[in-house]
Structure 1
Amino acid sequence: MYLGLDLGTSGIKGVVIDDAQQLVAEARAPLTVARPHPGWSEQSPAEWLSATSDVMAALGSQIDMSAVKAIGLSGQMHGATLIDAKGDVLRPCILWNDTRSHAEAARMDADPQFRHVSGNIVFPGFTAPKLAWVKNNETNVFAATDKVLLPKDYLRLWLTGVAVSEMSDAAGTSWLDVGARDWSDDLLAATGLERAHMPSLVEGSAVSGTLRPELASNWGLPAGIPVAGGGGDNAATAIGVGVTKPGQAFLSLGTSGVIFAATERYAPAPDTAVHTFCHALPDTWHQMGVILSAADALEWYGRLVRQTPAALTGALEGVAAPGRALFLPYLGGERTPHNDARIRGALIGLQNETDTAAGTRAVLEGVSFALKDNLDALAATGTQINNLIAVGGGSASRVWLRTLATCLGVPIAVPVSGDFGAAFGAARLGMMAVSNDLTIATPPKIAETLEPEAQHKDAFAEAHIRYRSTYSALRTLS
C-alpha cells in the first residue's frame, strides 16, 4: 500500500491506495486561514502538524498501516515558511493567495533576469516577493531566517528531518531556473538569499528521505519507510488524473481555478501570464493558467445568501443563456492573464428580476469567463487543448461543468466516481519512488463527457466580450 498526504489550504487529506491503485482508506482534517489585514492570508505551520497527526490516527483506525511501503507528499504552492537555525518557525506562513507583496513583485518583475531565468512573471503570490516583503518590513525575521520552505516541504522536514523540495513546487518560487531544474544563484542573490537558505532538490518521483523512527512507531508504519519528493498540488493532481504527456490537460475547480496542460519541453511565455513550471516527473514540464477564486467564489456567494454551494447549484436546471447579471470573480486579485493584485470583484447588471438563482448563474458564468481568458492565454503560447478532465470540489456540479464546456468550447470529461486529486497523485508518486515505474500515472475511466451546448454558443461568446469590457472598466476603478 502507498500513502499520499496533501496539505491544502482548507485541510489536510490523506489517502492510502493498494498495489492496484485502488483507494482503501482516506481521512481529512480541517485547517484555518488567518486574514489579519486586507490582502493578507496566513496559516500556522504548527496546525499543519497537528492536523497531519489527526489524519494519520484516522487512517490507522481504518486499516493496518504496517503494509504501507512509501509516502508521497503534495501541497499548496508558493507559501513562505521561514525557519531559524534551531528549526523553529519564525512567523506564520504567508500563503499563495496573499497579495501584500505586490509592490515587491512588481520591482522584481521589472528586473529582466527573473522572467528570463524562471520563465515566469513574478506574481505577488509567489515566494520570492514574500521574502522581499519580509526583508523590508520584518527585518529581524529575515535576518534570523536559516531556511525557506514551501508548505509541504516543512511537513517533510517534520516527517523526515531533512530539508528537501522537488521541481514542480520549487518552480513556483521565482528562484528556480525552470529549464535547468536547479536553483538560480543569481535570482536568490537578488532577494538577499543564498543557496544555503534553500532546501535541496529531487524529482517528484524520487526518494527524498525516510520517516523518522518515532513517527513510524506512533503511526504503525514500517521503520525506514521512504518519503517521495511528491509535487505541488496541481502537478500532483496531474499525476492523479494521468495528465503527463503533451495533449493531455485537466480543469480544476477548487479554491482556485486551474487549466493545466502537460508539455514535453520547456517553453516559457511569461508575457501571457501563463505559468510554465516543471512537472513532478523528470524531463517533463507543464503550462498552467490560474485564477485565484473558483469554488471559493461560489462559497462567498453562498455565505452572502446563506445557502450551501451544493444547494445553489442543485436548484438550477441545465445551462441557460447568460443573463444581465455579471460577476467578476476577482475577490483577492487575479493571476492569469491579468497579473493584477489590486483588482477586486464585482456583481453588476442587477435588476428587479435578479433572484438567488440568477446570482448563482452569474457566479458560475463569471468563473467560466475567467477560465476562458486562461484558455485563450494558453492558446496564445501555442498550447492547444481539445478536451479537459474535470477535478476539484466544484466539478460535482454538472450544471457548472456544462456551463464551462459551453463557455470554453471544449468537451469536459468527468471521471468515474472516485478521488483522483492531489492526495491520490501523491500516493502514486510514492509508488513510483520505490518501483521506479513512471508509467503508472494512467488516466481514470471516464463516466461521461459533457459537450458544449451549441444553442448557447453565441450568447456565451457575446457575454464574454461584455465580461472583458467590464474588467477593463473595473480596473480603472481599483
Structure 2
Amino acid sequence: MYLGLDVGTSGVKAVLEDEAGALVASASRPLSLSHPQPLWSEQNPDHWVEATLGAVDDLAVSHPRETAAVRGIGLSGQMHGATLLGRDGRPLRPAILWNDGRSQEECAELERRCPELHAIAGNLAMPGFTAPKLVWVAKHEPKIFAEVAKVLLPKAYVRYRLSGEMVEDMSDAAGTLWLDVGARRWSETLLAATGLAISHMPRLVEGNQPAALLSAELAQRWGMGANVVIAGGAGDNAASAIGLGAINPGDAFLSLGTSGVLFRVTDRFAPAPESAVHAFCHALGGLWHQMGVMLSAAASLSWLARILETPEAVLLAPLGASVERPSTVQFLPYLDGERTPHNDAHAAGAFVGLRSAASRGDLVQAVLEGVAFAARDMLAALGRSAQPITELDLVGGGSRSVLWAQIMADVLGVAVHRVEEGEVGAAIGASRLGRLAATGAAPTDVCRKPQRLQSFAPRVAQRAAYDDAYAHWRKLYPALKE
C-alpha cells in the first residue's frame, strides 16, 4: 500500500492506493486562510501538520489493515509558500502563501538586482513566488529575516515534521525563483539577490527519489512497519500530472482547483517569461513543464456561493448540463490578482453588463465563462512557444461540473475530458511517487493514464458565439485597469 498526502490551500487530502494503483480510501481535513491586510494571504504551518496527521489518523481508524501495510509515502503541496524557520526548526511567522500579492514592488526590485533572473529561473518575478516574499520580509520585518535559518515550502515543512529531514523536490523548488531550473540545482546568484545562501535551502531530490523515512513515533501511531520511505514528492500541479500519467512531452491538462492551471509536459527547459508562462521542472528527472496560472478558478464560484449564501450545487442546478449562448453578463475572475498573462497582483474582479433583468443564473454562468475565458488566455500564451494543444484532461474540484466542462470545450475550441478520480489527482500522484521511491519501479509502469469518464467536443454554433464574447471580454481588463 502507498499513501499520498496533498497539502492544499483549503485542506489536506490523504489517499491510500494498492499495488494495482487502485484507490482504496481517502480522507481530508479542512484548512482556513488568514487575510490580515489587503493582498495578504497567510496560514499557520502547524495547521498543515495537524490536518495531515488528522487525515492519516482517520485512515488508520477506517482502514487499519491497509494503513499498516503502507511502504511508501508521497507528498504534494501548494507551491511557493514561504515557511520561515529559525535555528530551532520552528516557524518564525505565518507562512506567506502563493496567492499573497504584497510583494509587487519587491518583484521589480529583485529583477533590478538580478538581470540574469529570467535566464536562470525561467520565469518573471511575480508576487506569488517565494523569493520576492523574502525581499519583503527583509525590508518590512528585518528582525525576523535576521533569524531565518531555513526556508521551506509547505509540503517540505510537513515532511520535516513527519521525518525530521529538510528536503525538497525539483518541481516545487522551481517555483521559488532560487532554482537554476535548467541545471536542476540551487542558484547561488539568485539566492544572493535575496540575501540568502545555499545553507538556507533544503537538500534537493527528484520527486520519485527517496527523501526521508517516516519517524518511528508516527509509524507506531499508525501501525506501520519500520523504514517507510517518504518520496521527494511534487508541487501540486506536477503531482496532478503524475496522477494523470502526463509524463510524455505534449501531454496536457487543465486544473480547476482553487487556482486554475494549464499544464503541458516538455522534454527540455522551455522558458517563456514574456507571456507570463511558468517553466518548471517536472517531478521526474529529464522532464520539465510549462504552466499558465490563474489565481482564482473554482475559488471564483466559491466566492459567489459565499456572497449569495447559497451552495454551489444549488447555484449550478438551474443551468443544467449545457447552455446555448453566452451570458449577457461578463465576469473578470481576478479576485486575487492574476498571473498569466497579466502578471498583475492589483488586477481586480468585476461583473460587467449588469441590467435590472439580470438573474442569479446570469451571474453564475458569467463566472463559469469568465474562468473559461481566462483559461483561453493561458492557452494562447502557451501556444506561442510550442505546438498547439488539441485536447485536455480536466481535473480539480471544478471538474465535477458537466456544465463547466462543456463551456470549457466551447470556449477553448478543444476536446475536454473528465477523468476518473480527477478531484484527488494531486494526492494520487503523490502516492505514486511514494510507490516509485519505495520500489524503484519504472515511471511508465506506475504513472498510467486514468479512465476518461466523459468527453466534450466544441459545438460549432456555441464556439462562434464564444469567439465574439471572448473578443469583448479581452477588452475589459485594459479598460478597467486604465
If the length of structure 2 is used for normalisation, what is the TM-score? 0.97
1:369 maps to which residue? 373
2:68 maps to which residue? 66
For residue 456 of structure 1, report the CA deviation from its aligned partner.
1.1
Q: Is residue 114 from structure 1 mapped to residue 117 from structure 2 by the alignment?
A: yes
Q: Is residue 445 from structure 1 mapped to residue 454 from structure 2 by the alignment?
A: no
For residue 416 of structure 1, report the CA deviation from its aligned partner.
3.3
1:44-443 → structure 2 map (5 Å cutoff): 44-63=44-63, 64=65, 65-110=67-112, 111-317=114-320, 318-416=322-420, 419-436=423-440, 437-439=442-444, 440-443=446-449
For residue 251 of structure 1, report the CA deviation from its aligned partner.
0.7
Structure 1's unaligned 5+ residue stretches are none
For residue 409 of structure 1, report the CA deviation from its aligned partner.
0.3
For residue 417 of structure 1, report the CA deviation from its aligned partner.
5.5
- Per the alignment, in what secondary structure is the counterpart of residue 254 of structure 2? strand
Equivalents in 1 of 2:422, 2:234: separation in Å? 20
- Per the alignment, in what secondary structure is the counterpart of residue 255 of structure 1? coil
For residue 352 of structure 1, report the CA deviation from its aligned partner.
1.8
Equivalents in 2 of 1:431, 1:334: separation in Å? 36
Equivalents in 1 of 2:385, 2:455: separation in Å? 26
Whether contact under 8 Å (2:99, 2:128) holds in the other structure is yes
More moved, 356-365 vs 218-227: 218-227
RMSD, aligned CA: 1.0
- Per the alignment, in what secondary structure is the counterpart of residue 3 of structure 2? strand
- Per the alignment, in what secondary structure is the counterpart of residue 314 of structure 1? helix
For residue 419 of structure 1, report the CA deviation from its aligned partner.
4.8
User: Cα deviations across residues 24-60 of structure 1 (Å, max 9, x unaligned)?
Assistant: 1111011111000010000001111111121111000
The ranges of structure 1 where at least 4 consecutive aligned residues each deviate by more than 3 angstroms after the TM superposition are 416-420
Equivalents in 2 of 1:374, 1:461: separation in Å? 15
CA separation of 1:148/1:416 partners in 2, compared to 1, >3 Å: closer, same or farther? closer
CA separation of 1:24/1:148 partners in 2, compared to 1, >3 Å: closer, same or farther? same
For residue 109 of structure 1, report the CA deviation from its aligned partner.
2.9
For residue 313 of structure 1, report the CA deviation from its aligned partner.
1.6
Q: Give 2:271's aligned amino acid.
A: P
Equivalents in 2 of 1:240, 1:141: separation in Å? 38
For residue 129 of structure 1, report the CA deviation from its aligned partner.
0.3
1:17-28 → structure 2 map (5 Å cutoff): 17-28=17-28
For residue 247 of structure 1, report the CA deviation from its aligned partner.
2.0
User: Cα deviations across residues 382-412 of structure 1 (Å, max 9, x unaligned)?
Assistant: 2421100010111111111100100000100
1:473 maps to which residue? 479
Aligned length: 476
2:8 maps to which residue? 8
User: Cα deviations across residues 414-469 of structure 1 (Å, max 9, x unaligned)?
Assistant: 11356551111000000111222211111111122100111111211111111111
CA separation of 1:202/1:345 partners in 2, compared to 1, >3 Å: closer, same or farther? same
More moved, 282-291 vs 63-72: 63-72
Q: Give 1:413's aligned amino acid.
A: H
Q: Give 2:466's aligned amino acid.
A: F
Equivalents in 2 of 1:276, 1:23: separation in Å? 31
Q: Give 2:50's aligned amino acid.
A: S
Q: Give 1:73's aligned amino acid.
A: L
1:39 maps to which residue? 39
User: Cα deviations across residues 139-189 of structure 1 (Å, max 9, x unaligned)?
Assistant: 111000000000000001111111100000000000000000000000000
Structure 2's unaligned 5+ residue stretches are none
If the length of structure 1 is used for normalisation, what is the TM-score? 0.98
Whether contact under 8 Å (2:18, 2:24) holds in the other structure is yes
Whether contact under 8 Å (2:396, 2:424) holds in the other structure is no
CA separation of 1:386/1:343 partners in 2, compared to 1, >3 Å: closer, same or farther? same
Identity of aligned residues (%): 51
User: Cα deviations across residues 200-249 of structure 1 (Å, max 9, x unaligned)?
Assistant: 10000000010111111112111121100000000000001111111211
Q: Give 2:104's aligned amino acid.
A: H
Q: Give 1:250's aligned amino acid.
A: F
For residue 348 of structure 1, report the CA deviation from its aligned partner.
1.2
